[in-house]
Amino acid sequence: MKLRHGMTFVSSLQTQTGAESGETQNVDVVLIGGGTMSATLGTLLQSLQPDWTIHLYERLDKAAEESSNVWNNAGTGHSAFAEMNYTSPQPDGSVDIKRAVGITEQFEVSRQFWASQVREGVLANPRSFINTVPHLSFVWSGERVSFLKTRFEAMRESPLYAGMEYSEDPQKISEWIPLVMTGRDTDEPVAATRMPIGTEVNFGEITRQMMNSLARRDNFHLSVNTQVRDLKRNADGSWKVTVANTSDGENERSVNARFVFIGAGGAALPLLQKSGIPEARQYGGFPVGGQFLFTTNPDVVAKHDAKVYGLAPAGSPPMSVPHIDKRILDGTPAIMFGPFATFSSKFLKNGSWTDLVRSITPNNLWPMTKVGINNLDLVRYLISQLRMSESGQFKELQNYYPEANRDDWKLWTAGQRVQTIKDIEGKGGTLQFGTELVTGAEGSIAALLGASPGASTAPSIMLTLLGRVFPDRVASEAWQAKLKSMIPSYGKALTDNPQLLYDVRAMSRELLELSEPDLTTTPVPKSEPEISDS
């Protein structure tokens, strides 16, 4: 196997005792970070090329403990059904849904991928990691009601959103979300959309199960309590990856890898900078944390079977969109509301206070400064969030749960996110909302920066990565056949193939044991299904 720069992959681990003897091991792939992204890429590669050797390094004592942990993210299967920040109002009064369509398409790929892993025995007990929870958008006041109606009218034109309901009737909305509506001012105009096939996802459980499956393979090696110290390019184009034990900082060792993926969440930017590739120079990052109010009171939880998204304040980042969600936290039903923005100079929840300072370079200092100057609304929003008291946070909750009892709710500090700042020619420093895939050194190294929709679209992001760094392999008959067996819609736009959309949803619904309805209103032609049972 060759990358674009001509390096040949080794087919087996050449030095089995390198960690103990001090010799440098040669491996095919190094994955940095034990989260959803690395687990997804490792699972894809193990399926596509099982003879490749893969080493994964995680700095904590177990995988899926940072952003992938169920307590450290919103648990929403981001499918753009309810997240209004993915649809933007236009000057002519219309609403642009192109970004939402793209995210919905990506989440359908995630569903197919997870379903295929259930079929292959990599994932088990789907109820432990994905459950049907309707997704709703909810607004009040005339201007916002008008926006939501226009958004609904645009989305209903796509088969991706068949089955979505819209209502301005308080009684109807109360049937959908009684907890949100009970006690609300009946004179205030309200509106909601409801998509019955939304999901609640435990990305930590998905990650752990995929890691456990990988760990059973002879060619995969997981090292926890292990931090990557340095990345250096070798003369042959491979990468010398130096790691050390995090418990004492000693036992430094290294491996030579033909391909390196940096999927270390907030720590991805500093590691990308260590690589020295030119593509890294244009990036900076600003850490933003999040807190949620949560309750496990069964009487309260029983009243809310939905994820309800509102509209974010002007100038705020996408991760600040308020939402009140049914959660299943490693088996425990709960409701979470938030997020409330926090600030810490750490790039990871378990990171260092010096992360931000150490990430600033001569190349990104001015772009980062310019972002602050050009985004004063964002700066003001963050300041207002940091100044918000506990009573202020509870008042925000009452906008979505008017009859909330303060004694039922506790505050939880979730994971850190690093908002990506990119120096774009002609524009200077620009905030990049969403995820950013960076590749360099002729495709021998890649990193994932950014946040939402993140883990929800991990399979699509990793497929894009494969296409960039292994284009010849991806185009091969063997890889194409395997990819299409895992993801029947691979290479096709579901919005243009309503029959295929119907079929892949039915397939993933069955394998993932989802309780969602069969949306027979999907406008599909009457023909034979495009998915076989094989």
Domain ranges of the chain: 18-67+203-282+434-485, 75-202+285-432
Q: At what angle do helices 458-469 and 98-120 cross, to 10 degrees?
A: 90
Q: Does 19 have pLDDT greater than 60?
A: no
| Span 492-511, average pLDDT | 97
Each residue's pLDDT tens digit, 482-494: 999 999 999 999 9
Indicate the pairing of strand 199-201 with strand 410-424: unpaired
**What angle (nearest 5°) sits at the alpha carbon of residue 59, between those of residues 17 and 51?**
45
Q: Higher confidence at residue 261 or residue 453? A: 261
Question: What's the pLDDT band for 144 if we cut at 50, 70, 90?
Answer: very high
Window from 9-13, 175-179, 493-497 with minimum mean pLDDT: 9-13
Confidence of residue 428 (pLDDT cuts 50, 70, 90): low
- Kindly write down the DSSP assignment for every residue of 330-396, as one continuous string: TTEEEEEEEEEEE--S-SSTTS-TTHHHHH--TTTHHHHHHHHHH-HHHHHHHHHHHH--HHHHHHH
Q: What's the confidence (pLDDT) of residue 290?
A: 82
For 29-33, 54-58, 390-394, which range has the lowest pLDDT when averaged over its residues?
390-394
Four-residue CA torsion sign, 263, 266, 270, 273: positive
Residue 358 pLDDT exceeds 70:
no
Structure confidence at residue 357 (pLDDT): 63
Summarize pLDDT for 262-301 with one digit per residue, the tens.
987 778 888 888 898 998 888 877 777 788 999 999 999 9
Q: Over 60: is that where the pLDDT of 22 sits?
A: no
Q: How far is CA 36 from CA 12, 67, 461, in A?
A: 25, 9, 11
Q: Are 160 and 494 in contact (CB under 8 A)?
A: yes
DSSP string, 192-225: EEEETT-EEE-HHHHHHHHHHHHHTSTTEEEE-S
> Judging by DSSP bridges, how do beta strands 220-223 and 54-57 pair with one another?
parallel
Q: What is the pLDDT of residues 449-488, one digit of tens each?
A: 876 678 999 999 999 999 999 999 999 999 999 999 999 9
Grade residue 387 by pLDDT with cuts at 50, 70 and 90: confident
DSSP character for 454? G
* Per-residue confidence (pLDDT) for residue 268, from 0 to 100: 82
Residues 87/154, Cβ–Cβ less than 8 Å: yes
By CB atoms closer than 10 A (0-12, 13-18, 19+), residue 156 is middle
3-state secondary structure of 128: helix
Q: Which of 300, 316, 312, 328 is nearest to 401 (CA)?
A: 300
- Least confident range from 316-320, 415-419, 474-478: namely 316-320
3-state secondary structure 464-514: HHHHHHCHHHHHCHHHHHHHHHHCCCCCCCHHHCHHHHHHHHHHHHHHCCC
The confidence score (pLDDT) of residue 368 equals 64
Structure tokens, 86: 């993915």
pTM: 0.88
Q: What is the dihedral of CA 341, 344, 349, 353, to 10 degrees?
A: 180
Categorize the per-residue pLDDT at 65 as very low, low, confident or very high, splitting at 50, 70 and 90: confident
pLDDT at 68: 84
Which is more confidently placed, 359 or 390? Answer: 390
Average pLDDT over every residue of 95-103: 97
For Cα atoms 503, 504, 509, give the angle at the middle one, nearest 5 degrees: 100
Q: Rounded to a whole number, what is the distance in angstroms from the first to the last CA of the chain?
A: 29
For residues 108-123, average pLDDT:
98
Q: What is the pLDDT of residue 364?
A: 67
Alpha-carbon span 303 to 186, nearest angstrom: 19
- Can you give the pLDDT at residue 11? 35
Cα separations in angstroms, 47 against 101, 457, 487, 509:
28, 19, 13, 23
Q: Which two tokens stand for residue 177?
A: 């979300």
Q: Are 174 and 494 within 8 A, CB to CB?
A: no
Q: Which of the pair, 114 or 415, is modelled with greater confidence?
A: 114
Q: Please report which confidence band the pLDDT of residue 9 belongs to, taking 50, 70 and 90 as the band edges.
A: very low
Residue 49 CB burial class (10 angstroms; 0-12, 13-18, ≥19): buried
**18-67+203-282+434-485 and 75-202+285-432 share one fold:** no
**Cα(222)–Cα(32) distance, integer angstroms:** 10
Residue 523 has pLDDT above 70, yes or no: no
Q: Count the neighbouring beta carbons within 10 Å of the beta carbon of residue 345.
A: 16
Q: Give the model's pLDDT for residue 5.
A: 39
- Asked if the model's pLDDT at residue 431 lies above 70, the reply is no
8 A C-beta contact, residue 33 and residue 458:
no
Domain 75-202+285-432 has CATH 3.30.70.260: no
If DSSP codes are grouped into helix, strand and coil, which group holds residue 309?
strand
Residue 216 has pLDDT above 80, yes or no: yes
pLDDT higher than threshold 50 for residue 15 = no
pLDDT one-digit tens code per residue, 174-211: 999 999 999 999 899 999 999 999 999 999 999 999 99
User: Residue 317: which pLDDT band, with cuts at 50, 70 and 90?
Assistant: low
Structure tokens belonging to residue 309: 């998204």
Phi, psi of 433 (to 5 degrees): -80, 140
> Residue 191: its pLDDT value, please?
98
Query: Which tens digits make up the pLDDT trace of 329-356?
Result: 999 999 999 988 777 666 566 666 666 6
The predicted pLDDT at position 313 comes to 67
Task: Look over the chain and give the mean of its residue pLDDT values, rounded to a whole number.
Answer: 86
SS (H, E, C) 388-433: CCHHHHHHHHHCCCCCCCHHHCEEEEEEEEEEEEEEECCCEEEEEC
- The whole-angstrom separation of Cα 384 and Cα 509 is 42
- pLDDT > 70 fraction of the chain, expressed in percent and rounded: 84
Q: Are strands 25-32 and 54-57 parallel, antiparallel or unpaired?
A: parallel
Helices 498-511 and 98-120 pack at an angle, to 10 degrees, of: 40
- Strand bridging mode 135-140 / 165-167: unpaired
- Under DSSP, the state recorded for 56 is E
| CATH tag, 18-67+203-282+434-485 | 3.50.50.60
Own/partner contacts of 372-380, CB < 8 Å, gap of 24 or more, are: 374/428, 374/429, 375/315, 375/431, 376/315, 377/314, 377/315, 377/316, 378/315, 378/316, 378/317, 378/431, 380/315
